[in-house]
A and B are shown apart, each in its own frame.
Chain A
Amino acid sequence: MAFPPFQSGPDPNAQSSTSAGSGRNSLMHQAWGSIYSRHVALLGGSLLYGFNIGHANYNYDDAEGYFTRFNYHHSVSPKPFDAIGGGGTGTLIQKKYYSSGLTNLRRKNEQYEATPAGSTINTNGYVTEIRNGRNSSQEVYTLGYHNEAITDCVMCSATPGSVWHCTWYGRKSNSSPSNQQTVRASMLLFSLGYNSGTNKYVFTHSGYSSGGDTGASTITSPKTGGSYYTKQVTLTTSWTKYEMTVQFPNAATCPDIVALSARMDVDDGGGSGTPTKTYWDRPTLHLVNTNLTDSQTTTDISLGDNPGGIYY
């Protein structure tokens, strides 16, 4: 039996029972998507719509949860995953289309860039390709995770003490040099604070520290002890699912956490102008310990600003 559908009741303000923004499609579980948002899963709705973030009426999440996809917005490259740092000849980040061979997953239909993206379960679709043109043990990494404006950096809101579960599927290329050498890759999750002086979001907020590698963390046993974390894996040529669960420090340690960003690293290049190639499919990010305290707004029909806050 399939998981039962959402069955919310009618909303007196709804345009129709199925229209975006209706009561039926509001108060969703945790994350929201928008065809216009540069941050698909940034807490959107009317609260941030005035800042040209998100869409006033779209508020369902998708299989990716809070995780931003690489390209989802017509001809506009969304940040943060549109640029890569570290250097090296041949280093790049781009989309790659598979007509078959992907793990049978629900993922966004990024090939239809001229129309609102839906999602389907299939073995074809777009994944993210990252090439590393540096040498072995030299990393390249996606930019836009630190010291950036909200539209260039933030993936979603976050709070001190929040627990996050992140998954992705990864593999390396069958071609040389990737298949001839060790190719490691890392996912990093950062809690962010807001610097009102520069209008930038930074991971170097008060009390920040590295939580190190998450190892074998699970949803019921998250990695703790840091305000940012990494999970490094050694890729094979087969699609493999990886996961990490982390908890940010509480407010006594890190009072300024307001948001979250992610970074993808490829930690080994091929050198000599022959980059290693890695592929990243269907990243997901979900909040685990959802707080329902943030559940009211009396004057504005808008989303609360805590992760998991309720949308009206």
Chain B
Amino acid sequence: MTLYGRRRFIISGSEAPNIKSLIDSKPEWSASFHSTSSCDIPNLVYCDIDIYDKNTIVSVTINSERVCSYLKDDSWVVEGDELKNQVFMSPDDHEAHLKKLFDTNHDNDNE
């Protein structure tokens, strides 16, 4: 079967069995569950649901414990974890960064 795509949700551990039983009843869909502890998020589960048949209806409402966004570069932002995303630049990138700032008109930042 063709894998059409995947959707991801961060859920509580107690909800995982309910989702699994629903998804397991539809062979065209599958769900895998992983601890978020490896992503520095304690005590939750992220659930990847794979869809192999776009015409199959699976009636399930998933209540997210955390919300996340998918980005164009295939990375994810988990709401509330922004401060962990520290930025480190190479010297060349930093120089370009400074030039960009220098070239950009802006107001008094401290106002």
Binding site for B on A (CB under 8 A): 1-12, 23-31, 33, 60-65, 96-101, 103-106, 111, 118-124, 163, 165, 167, 173-175, 219-220, 277, 284, 286-293, 295-298, 310, 312
Known: A3-B76, A165-B67, A292-B49. A29 touches B9 (CB 8 A): yes
Q: Are A27 and B109 touching (Cβ within 8 A)?
A: no
In the assembled complex, how far is the CB of residue B94 from the closest CB belonging to chain A, in whole angstroms?
12
Known: A3-B39, A3-B68, A3-B76. A288 touches B63 (CB 8 A): yes
Contact among B57, B60, B74, B110 for A101, CB-based, below 8 A: B110
Q: Are B67 and A3 touching (Cβ within 8 A)?
A: no
Q: How many residues of B contact A (CB 8 A)?
A: 55
Binding site for A on B (CB under 8 A): 2-9, 34, 38-40, 46, 49-51, 54-79, 82-83, 85-87, 101, 104-107, 109-111
Contact among B3, B38, B57, B59 for A10, CB-based, below 8 A: B3
Q: Are B111 and A175 touching (Cβ within 8 A)?
A: yes
Residues of chain A within 8 A of B82, CB atoms compared:
63, 103-106, 121
Contact among B40, B70, B101, B111 for A28, CB-based, below 8 A: B70
Q: Are A99 and B101 touching (Cβ within 8 A)?
A: yes
Known: A29-B69, A293-B59. A8 touches B78 (CB 8 A): no
Residues of chain B within 8 A of A29, CB atoms compared:
7-9, 68-70
In the assembled complex, how far is the CB of residue A292 from the closest CB belonging to chain B, in whole angstroms?
5
Q: How far is the CA of A99 from the CA of B106 in the complex (A)?
A: 7
By beta carbon, the residue of chain B nearest A94 is: B107
Q: Are A293 and B67 touching (Cβ within 8 A)?
A: no
Contact among A26, A60, A104, A105 for B72, CB-based, below 8 A: A60
